[in-house]
Amino acid sequence: MQEIQSVCVVGAGAIGSLFAGHLGTVAQMKVLTRREEHAALLNAHGLKVRGKSALHANIRAATDPAALGDVDLLIIATKATAVEASAKRIAGHFPSATVMTVQNGLGCEAVVARHGGWPIVSAVTFMSGVRHSDTEVEYELDTATWMGPWADGKASYADVQQIAALIERSGLKAKAFPDLLPAQWSKLLFNSCVNSIGALTDLPHVQAFAKRESLTDLGHLVYAMMAEGRQVASALGIELYRDPWAMNVEAVSHGQTGDDEYAHVFSMLEDIRARRATEVDWLTGAVVREAQRLGIPAPIHETLYRLVKARESSWQRKQATEIAHGSPA
């Protein structure tokens, strides 16, 4: 991989905007947007980052990948549900790029690989923020992005180290791994549990997720589900980088401000509340598929996976009924 001088971000939501705003201070930054208005605003005003960082980056944006030219690094920061569409958009473009996928769950790298021969770096991130407008994002949780070469791809560990160094130089946190699977599965098991439970209970990440004192405490379910997931990882020969339960306890402690009502709202819960398709197929569903392939029982994951899918289908059915009767969806 040549020295990284130009970067393109696909998916300028909160995470993509944080990458673009920071990396735009150390490299030529391009953003592939869905909307012409978004591209025009970024071209005119750049991207402002506030919160944990106070930055302003100049951006070259377009809805047509051909208008952006080639780049050294392309970061796909969409949700897992949008990776297929994003990969189709970049197919035939950016021939010199190394592609870094930054999604929850498993399987997005293979989706990208079907559309081009780029070297692929796998990444998962723990940072978070709020996108206030097309040109402003707030940096809230300044935790690291973990990355490693995709096991089935052409990227090297040296490539990953160079990308991590650039991200660190931009003011974000990053950690390079020669093998990302132990870290990727650590986050997968954490996310598959708390996201699906949060989506079904309508609870953000409050202290209840880590309490196991009384019979009715929600932490019992979280702990049991994570233990079940650890068995699947163990059967795959994966020694987890971090214990998902410890990650859960640490995460809820970040929300303690003297007011227990403050807590992170899971992306899956946001999707459920907005009646959007969730990432459950790439999270809880990914664990279920691996368990079934190995012949290992995973009844808690199976139950929550099916319940979230049923929740999705319930509003799809309701919307179809409302449309059929001429009522607003």
pLDDT of residue 36: 97
Q: Quick one: 173 and 213 in the same domain?
A: no
pLDDT of residue 259: 47
Neighbours of 222 (CB within 10 A): 25
What residue type is assigned to position 206 of the chain? V
pLDDT of residue 207: 92
Q: Quick one: 288 and 146 in the same domain?
A: no
Q: Quick one: 200 and 168 in the same domain?
A: no
pLDDT of residue 232: 98
pLDDT of residue 220: 97
Residues contacting 270, CB < 8 A, separation 6+: none
Last residue within a domain, chosen from 178, 199, 231: 178
Q: Quick one: 29 and 143 in the same domain?
A: yes
Indicate whether 325 belongs to any domain: no
User: Which residues make beta-bridge pairs with 6?
Assistant: 28
pLDDT of residue 2: 86
Indicate whether 329 belongs to any domain: no
Indicate whether 326 belongs to any domain: no
pLDDT of residue 258: 43
Q: Quick one: 77 and 92 in the same domain?
A: yes
pLDDT of residue 197: 97
Indicate whether 216 belongs to any domain: yes
pLDDT of residue 248: 94
Indicate whether 108 belongs to any domain: yes
Indicate whether 327 belongs to any domain: no
Here the tokens at position 108 are: 């997005």
Task: Write the CATH number for 301.
Answer: 1.10.1040.10
From CA 130, how far away is CA 144, in angstroms rounded?
A: 17
Residues contacting 67, CB < 8 A, separation 6+: none
Indicate whether 324 belongs to any domain: no
* Edge-to-edge strands, sheet with 60-62: 60-62, 28-32, 6-10, 73-76, 98-102, 120-125, 145-149, 174-176
Q: Quick one: 145 and 192 in the same domain?
A: no
Q: Quick one: 251 and 228 in the same domain?
A: yes
Per-residue pLDDT in tens (0 to 9) along the chain, 329 residues: 889 999 999 999 999 999 999 999 999 999 999 999 999 999 999 999 999 999 999 999 999 999 999 999 999 999 999 999 999 999 999 999 999 999 999 999 999 999 999 999 999 998 989 999 999 999 988 889 999 999 877 999 999 999 999 999 999 999 999 999 999 999 999 999 999 999 999 999 999 999 999 999 999 999 999 999 999 999 999 999 999 999 999 888 864 444 444 578 888 999 999 999 999 999 999 999 999 999 999 999 999 999 999 999 987 666 666 655 665 54
Q: Quick one: 253 and 168 in the same domain?
A: no
Task: Write the CATH number for 97.
Answer: 3.40.50.720
Q: Give all strands (DSSP E) within the chain, no chain letters.
A: 6-10, 28-32, 47-51, 55-57, 60-62, 73-76, 98-102, 120-125, 128-133, 136-141, 145-149, 174-176
pTM, 2 dp: 0.90
Last residue within a domain, chosen from 178, 195, 224: 178
Q: Quick one: 238 and 251 in the same domain?
A: yes
Last residue within a domain, chosen from 145, 178, 211: 178
Q: Quick one: 152 and 241 in the same domain?
A: no
Please give the tally of structural domains in the chain.
Answer: 2
pLDDT of residue 261: 47
Q: Quick one: 166 and 66 in the same domain?
A: yes
Cα 13 to chain center, whole Å?
11
Q: Which of 6, 120, 22, 124 is nearest to 73 (CA)?
A: 6
Q: Does residue 252 contact residue 196 with C-beta atoms inside 8 Å?
A: no
Q: Quick one: 71 and 212 in the same domain?
A: no
Indicate whether 161 belongs to any domain: yes
Q: Residue 294: which domain range?
A: 182-319
